[in-house]
Structure 1
């Protein structure tokens, strides 16, 4: 087995998404993980969902996103201040739920020489689930930091972390991640 070369993904911690979730714990723990990863030299990439004005990326067939076409939401997305990227950390704009579909994130991860993804983000039933499934299909090892993710539905969040996601990812937490770096 190849030694893990990790990359930390900080996903959908953006103003318009965090506003619809109780994300305080996930933000606080992700901040700690982010600081530890940077100190350990682990590369960090950010992912946000966003669209161009007029939403040319959104098909009327896309149930998740077609409803926002008339709202003006998710245009020019930015990461919340508490977790803002520093110079050199890429911010990937995605147009779908998962971070790997149709983005340049795979190229960035290749440049990082990463074969192991550490996932943080909002929401468990959205970006975490979709990214985990595709990352596993792409042969990445995946670790989800359970206290660095959140969902608007606690029952769905718990079900995914205990029943579905362990099939394709290691479920851990911020203290274990930080402790392993020491």
Structure 2
């Protein structure tokens, strides 16, 4: 394990109600995320929640964006406040940071990199929904920014199990250490 507790941060990405409700069929799926949070807090590793959030009227969304363009076309007000809140079972603690982003990657349209650099964090522990969305996009961008990366394989969820396995087993290991929450927690206790 290449991370050190003084320079690491756990990223809990897209764990907001609107996304959790679409991907999580059973609350037990959130247990690895809860254990990751407990582990980070136990070892005083900063926790940064990243959520997707838009302004009223969606001025950040281009009609050319296949993923978000439909939201803007429907118009109306921004996503209801309760839908952008972090899922109750993963509730942030007062010391945790919440970052708002405007695209799939945790870095795009957010101040995440400013926070990481200010805190001298060089190692990111990635978790989130979806493996093929925010986790993949953030991993690629973070690797290009020279962060040391770890992916918590059981604290990532995707709508397609085959895609999730392909990413976890074949794609992510090229740029990150992939391990379970239990293996990560055990490595910190040594």
- What TM-score comes out, normalization by structure 2 length? 0.89
- Is 2:49 the counterpart of 1:46? yes
Q: Where in structure 2 are there 5+ consecutive unaligned residues? A: none
Q: Which runs of structure 1 show a deviation greater than 2 angstroms over 4 or more consecutive aligned residues? A: 22-26, 71-76
Structure 1 residue 58: Cα displacement: 0.3
Establish whether residue 117 from structure 1 lines up as the match of residue 119 from structure 2. no
C-alpha distance 3-55 of structure 1, shift in aligned 2 (>3 A): closer
| Number of aligned residues | 181
2:158 is matched with 151
CA displacement, residues 85-134 of structure 1 (integer Å, 9 cap, x when unaligned): 11131111111000012210001111221100001100000000000000
State which of 125, 136, 142 in structure 2 corresponds to 1:129: 136
**Structure 1 spans left out of the alignment, 5+ residues:** none
1:3, 1:159 → 2: CA distance? 24
> How does 1:99-110 map onto structure 2 within 5 Å?
99-110=106-117
Residue in 2 aligned with 1:6? 8
RMSD: 1.7
